[in-house]
Structure 1
Amino acid sequence: MLALSDHERHVLQGWVRATSTPQGQAPRSRIVLACAEIGLDGLPRSASAVARELGITTETVSKWRSRFLRHRLDGLGDAPRPGRARTVSDEQVDAVLKATLESKPKNATHWYTRSMAAKPGLSQSTVSRIWRAFGLQPHRAEAFKRSTDPFFIDKVHDVVGLYLDPPERALVLCVDEKSQIQALDRSQPVLPMMPGVPERVSHGYLRAGTTTLFAALDAATGKVIGSLHRRHRAAEFRKFLSKLDRELPIGLDVHLICDNYATHKTETIRRWLLAHPRFHLHFTPTGSSWLNLVERWFAELTNKKLRRGVHRSVQSVERDIRTWIATWNDDPRPYVWTKTADQVLESLAAYCRRITDSGH
């Protein structure tokens, strides 16, 4: 009779349920569990009964039942297969990892598989396999910016609190300017896409001028109020605030999430805010534009309309932007903020603990 300890039964049941169990181990675990059951007649279940239930052969049931009786849980793994002996030693793997993490090549800023292969005398494919096994990607680099704002924590709690728990009878608007939007015309006609050939544009372009988009994204509905100006000063920002005052429902407080750009903090703006007490400005930490959801909307505008657009005049690009805003507002899609302020701060703290010279 095949008897299982509580620990063995628990492990086998875990292998059956787990989605990450190696292929073949889950069916073998089912065979052993079935063989350990008692039949309706009160006797241990036969190999033929288990085979009929699981839809396999009697020989397969007998094989894994015997392997388990001889080696217990270790017997359910794959036996070593014949093949070529290992050619890369642990010392060679360690040398590749140490060189990758602790040194740089003389003639480059980072390692390539070919340059690394020449150093320890391994093949390029071997170096590539070692890097993949340890999750190393020397060819990649990501940018980051750590805020040095002394009130960083307070501002994160303030802004995230507006997203997750906005005040009653109030609107939360994410406000920012997208300045220096260039009207660019290609120096040669755009060649259209064809089967097997992507759209092609010339490298050269002609500048026709710039404009600035002031935008306010309603965090609750996703609707956008925009205003275009040729200059980017406190005077234009004040005009945009006046436009918001005219278009937003009367009787509601308005909380504006802004960055720390100088035009948002001039004496002109302070006087305007004193004259319009329903408007409240909330500033994101310096270097933390990712907290302002309107930046995500600007990315949509850039990717879908501006980057590959062809405009022969400033009026042309402004007309396209106004049309795009109107189309967006026909079916607005709000960006839903999900992380709490504490979760944001913990993520940043975990990242700082991983890097050196972070100051934290």
Structure 2
Amino acid sequence: MPGPSADPIELSSAERAVLEGWARRRKTAQALALRSRIVLACADGGTNSGVAAELGITRGTVAKWRERFAVDRLEGLSDEARPGAPRKVTDAQVEAVIARTLEEKPPNGDTHWTSRSMARASGLSQSTVSRMWRAFGLKPHLVETWKLSTDPLFVDNVRDVVGVYLDPPEKAIVLCVDEKSQVQALDRTAPVLPLMPGTPQRMTHDYVRHGTTSLFAALDPTSGSVIAQTFRRHRHQEFLRFLKLIDSSVPKGYDLHLVLDNYATHKTPAVKNWLLRHPRFHLHFTPTSASWMNLVERWFAELTTRKLRRSTHRSVVELEADIRRWINAWNKDPKPFVWAKTADEILETLAAYCQRINDSGQ
């Protein structure tokens, strides 16, 4: 039983259910969960000392929350307002700053607000404006670019390409084909300084060009392996040579479904005649301005990030050899590229985005 100085705790069934829920629920704040366990233990007849020993807290803590609950019941378990200076910025001022940020341009002709210009316009401090923007997730200094395809066959091509990704034909291999043109052999004007504790790798901003090459690549998204070849020029003749490389690299028992863009070199009469003589090749063109649908572009991003961006080469021959070594290493441990979105999901997302653009009034 509680000691002489402790008020006995009696709970209604509703109060007990709420307290037990707070004590068990994972998303409950730990402080509230502890207070709930204190009250439940006291209601079960525990003394202040006994409950403190059971929960590993002080006797004073148990006494505090026992008394708070006895006076204010469940509401007494929440934190009281902390003392401090009264709030100086009103809700109306916050609303005015946010509305002005979203709906108006700065009066001096700038394209976007800065925290300083908004502070001058609103009469608030720069730090106050910055806190408001952070609270509402506003970043006026940032801008993102986008582009919508104007291809009249956009819907048909989306369904065609996505269908090949998600439900490829039997006894067929899907390859994502494209060219990374104008890959530059760049050498820095001074030696690259290595990574050190507290200091990132450093290289000069300026560089010397030693020529360019073009990388033709065919990615098998199922396995992640890549067929690739570099050429000094980027014409339909080089594309034909690359198609012949694909033909010789893939066993004859499989049809080949190539996902590629609408670049002119892919549609020349010479290419079309060669395809007629090789009926196992089937081409699936992505919509114009929709290179994001070709998964080999994602592999090109890996190549750029992990090899090209921070490499130095003093000749095109050296660059091509370095690319070949990197591709050989990749093919020893390839990573699959999985397409997840259905055509309907893509089209619904684009429709919703177009609706947002129309409703924006811009």
So what's the TM-score if we normalise by structure 1?
A: 0.87
Task: Tell me what 1:26 maps to.
Answer: 33
Q: Tell me which residue corresponds to 1:275.
A: 277
Structure 1 residue aligned with 2:12, among 3, 9, 24? 3
Query: Are 2:23 and 2:34, in contact at CA under 8 Å, matched by a contact in 1?
Result: no
Hey, what's the Cα distance between the residues in 2 that align with 1:254 and 1:29? Answer: 66
Query: 2-side partners of 1:161 and 1:316: how far apart?
Result: 40
Q: Distance in 2 between matches of 1:75 and 1:34?
A: 17
Q: Which whole-Å deviations, capped at 9, do the CAs of 1:284-320 have from their partners, x for residues lacking one? A: 2222222211111101111122122222222121111
Shift of 1:63: 4.0
Q: Does 1:293 align with 2:295?
A: yes
1:344 equivalenced with 2:356 (yes/no): no
Shift of 1:136: 0.8
CA contact (8 A) 1:16 1:29 kept: no
Change (3 A) 1:59 1:346: farther
- 1:244 matched residue in structure 2: 246
CA RMSD of aligned residues (A): 2.7
Task: State the 1:356 CA deviation.
Answer: 4.3
Q: Which residue of 2 aligns with 1:130?
A: 132
Residue in structure 2 matched with residue 200 of structure 1 by the alignment: 202
Q: In the alignment, is the contact (CA less than 8 A) between 2:188 and 2:312 conserved in 1? A: yes
Q: Does structure 1 residue 92 correspond to structure 2 residue 93?
A: yes
| CA apart distance, 1:50 | 5.2
C-alpha contact 2:177 2:260 (8 A) present in aligned 1: yes
Residue aligning to 1:257: 259
Amino acid at match of 2:14: S
* Aligned-residue offset at 1:93: 0.9
- Name the CA distance, whole Å, in 1 between partners of 2:305 and 2:256: 29
Aligned residues of 1:172 and 1:256 also touching (Cα < 8 A): yes
Taking a change above 3 Å as real, the CA distance of residues 194 and 81 of structure 1, as seen in their structure-2 partners, is: closer
The answer on whether the counterparts of 1:256 and 1:282 sit within 8 Å (CA) in structure 2 is yes
In the alignment, is residue 102 of structure 1 matched against residue 109 of structure 2? no
- 1:212 aligned to 211, 214, 221, which one? 214
CA distance, structure 1, for counterparts of residue 33 and residue 177 of structure 2: 55
The change in CA–CA distance for 1:104 and 1:205 in structure 2 (over 3 A counts) is: same
| 1:163 alignment partner AA | Y
Query: What does residue 147 of structure 1 align with?
Result: 149
* TM-aligned CA deviation for residue 353 of structure 1: 4.2
1:311-342 CA distances to partner (integer Å, 9 max, x unpaired)?
22221211111111111111111122233333
SS in 1 for 2:122: coil
Aligned partners of 1:191 and 1:272: how far apart in 2? 50
**What residue number does 2:5 align with?**
none
For the pair 1:13 / 2:15, whether they are aligned, the reply is no
CA distance in structure 2 between the partners assigned to 1:346 and 1:24 by the alignment: 44
Instruction: Show CA shifts across 1:145-172 (max 9, x none).
Output: 2223333333333323333332221111
Residue aligned with 1:188, SS:
coil
Q: How far did 1:57 drift?
A: 4.7
Supply the distance in 2 between the matched residues of 1:68 and 1:344 (Cα, whole angstroms): 54
User: Secondary structure of the equivalent of 2:247?
Assistant: helix
Deviation digits for residues 217-262 of structure 1 (CA, Å, limit 9, x no counterpart): 1111111000111221222111111110011011101111111222
Residue 87 of structure 1 aligns to a residue whose secondary structure is coil
Aligned length: 350
Counterpart position of 2:55:
54
Structure 1 partner of 2:223: 221
Cα-to-partner distance string for 1:60-84 (whole Å, 9 max, x where unaligned): 4454355445545433321111100
State the one-letter code of the partner of 2:135. Answer: A
**In 2: Cα distance, 1:212 partner to 1:272 partner:** 22
Of residues 179, 182, 197, the one that matches 2:181 is 179
Q: Is the contact made by 1:259 and 1:286 (CA closer than 8 Å) also made in structure 2?
A: yes
Give the alignment's TM-score, normalised by structure 2.
0.86
Cα distance change of structure 1 residues 358 and 104 upon mapping to structure 2, 3 Å threshold: closer
Q: Distance in 2 between matches of 1:141 and 1:58?
A: 57
CA gap 1:281/1:33 in 2 versus in 1, 3 angstroms: farther
Amino acid corresponding to residue 176 of structure 2 in structure 1: C
Extract unaligned runs of 5+ from structure 2.
Answer: 1-9
Could you give the per-residue CA deviations for residues 262-294 of structure 1, whole angstroms, max 9, x where no partner exists? Answer: 222222222222211111111222222222111
Name the SS of the counterpart of 1:5 in structure 2. Answer: helix
Match of 1:330? 332
Aligned to 1:119, the other structure's residue is in SS state: helix
SS in 2 for 1:149: coil
Distance 1:297 1:89 in 2: 51
Q: Percent identity?
A: 62
Secondary structure of the residue that 2:112 maps to in structure 1? coil
Q: From the superposition, tell whether residues 306 and 2 of structure 1 become closer, same or farther in structure 2 (CA, over 3 Å).
A: same
> How many Å apart are 1:58 and its aligned residue?
5.4
Q: Give the corresponding residue for 1:40.
A: none
In 2, Cα distance between equivalents of 1:75 and 1:214: 70
Distance 2:356 2:17 in 1: 39
Contact 1:180–1:211 (8 Å) recurs in 2: yes
**What is aligned with 2:3?**
none
Q: Does 1:304 align with 2:313?
A: no
